[in-house]
C-alpha cells in the first residue's frame, strides 16, 4: 500500500509511468500498483491517445488526470471538487456542463472505493466527451458520442428494457461509460443487459466500439 508522508490533508504529486494522477491526498492509504494495473487494462494505444494534451477552441491547454483522496478531502478539503457529493465514488469533470469547450478533463476518485468500480468507468466518460476532439473534429452542439449514431438511437430503443438496478440505466452518459467498462473488464453478461437483452443492439454497439478502437480487447456476450 502506498502511504504518502506529508502534512495531513495537503495535496501531493504521485509520479507514475502508467497512471495519470493529477495529485493525491497526503496520508491517504491506497495501492498505487493496484490502480496502475487497473488502468493498464485499457489498451495502451487508447490510453496514450486520450491522456495526451490538446488545445481547445479558446487556446487553453487541456490535460487529463485523476485526483485521489478521502471523501471529506474531495468535498471540503484541498482536493475539493465542484459538484462532488459524499454519496459519490468518483466524478468526471467535463469542463462545462453543456460540453462546450474543455477547460479541464479530470476525475476525482475516492481512495476508499474499489478501483474496479471507478477508474475504467470514469475513463469511459472521458472518451464519450472528448472522442471528437482527439479525432480532429471541431466542437459542435451534441458532439459527445452519446448524442451520435448509433449510440443515441440505440439508447432510445433499449433503455426501457435495461434492468433498473444497473448503474448504466441511470442515463445515456452512464450507459456509455458502463458499456465501455464492461468491454474492458470482459463483463459480457452486464453488457448484454445494457442492451436490453438485444443481441442485435449489442452487435451494433460492439461493432461501433471496435471501429473506433481496433485494439479493443476480445469480448463476448
Phi first, then psi, for residue 85 (nearest 5°) are -115, 155
Residue 214, C-alpha cell as written in the block: 481496433
pLDDT, tens digit, 9 for 90 and up, residues 148-161: 999 999 999 999 99
pLDDT confidence of 182, banded at 50, 70, 90?
Answer: very high
Q: Decide: 13 and 23 in contact? Cβ < 8 Å.
A: yes
Please count the residues of the chain.
Answer: 221
- Evaluate if residue 95 carries a pLDDT over 60: no
- Rounded Cα distance between 192 and 201, Å, is 9
pLDDT confidence of 96, banded at 50, 70, 90?
Answer: very low
- Evaluate if residue 190 carries a pLDDT over 60: yes
For residue 65, cis peptide bond before it (omega within 30 degrees of 0): no
Name the DSSP class of 145: G
pLDDT (average), residues 110-124: 93
Residue 94: its pLDDT value, please?
57
- Rounded Cα distance between 147 and 129, Å, is 10
pLDDT, tens digit, 9 for 90 and up, residues 4-16: 433 446 889 999 9
Which percentage of the chain shows pLDDT scores above 90? 62
Residue 4: its pLDDT value, please?
40
Residue 135: its pLDDT value, please?
86
DSSP element (H, E) containing 55: strand 54-55
pTM for the complete prediction? 0.89
Amino acid at each position: 500500500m502506498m502511504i504518502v508522508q506529508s502534512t495531513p490533508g495537503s495535496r501531493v504529486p504521485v509520479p507514475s509511468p502508467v497512471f495519470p494522477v493529477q495529485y493525491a491526498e497526503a496520508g491517504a492509504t491506497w495501492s498505487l500498483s493496484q490502480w496502475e494495473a487497473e488502468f493498464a487494462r485499457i489498451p495502451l494505444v487508447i490510453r496514450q491517445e486520450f491522456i495526451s494534451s490538446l488545445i481547445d477552441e479558446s487556446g487553453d491547454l487541456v490535460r487529463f488526470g485523476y485526483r485521489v483522496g478521502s471523501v471529506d478531502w474531495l468535498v471540503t478539503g484541498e482536493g475539493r471538487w465542484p459538484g462532488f457529493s459524499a454519496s459519490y465514488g468518483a466524478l468526471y469533470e467535463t469542463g462545462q456542463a453543456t460540453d462546450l469547450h474543455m477547460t479541464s478533463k479530470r476525475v476525482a476518485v475516492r481512495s476508499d472505493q474499489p478501483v474496479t468500480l471507478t477508474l475504467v468507468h470514469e475513463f469511459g466518460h472521458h472518451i464519450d466527451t472528448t472522442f471528437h476532439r482527439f479525432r480532429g473534429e471541431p466542437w459542435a452542439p451534441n458532439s459527445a458520442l452519446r448524442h451520435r449514431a448509433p449510440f443515441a438511437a440505440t439508447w432510445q430503443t433499449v433503455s426501457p428494457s435495461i434492468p433498473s438496478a444497473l448503474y448504466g440505466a441511470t442515463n445515456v452518459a452512464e450507459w456509455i461509460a458502463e458499456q465501455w467498462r464492461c468491454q474492458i473488464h470482459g463483463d459480457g453478461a452486464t453488457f448484454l443487459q445494457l442492451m436490453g437483452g438485444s443481441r442485435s443492439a449489442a452487435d451494433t454497439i460492439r461493432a461501433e466500439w471496435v471501429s473506433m478502437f481496433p485494439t479493443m480487447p476480445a469480448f463476448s456476450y
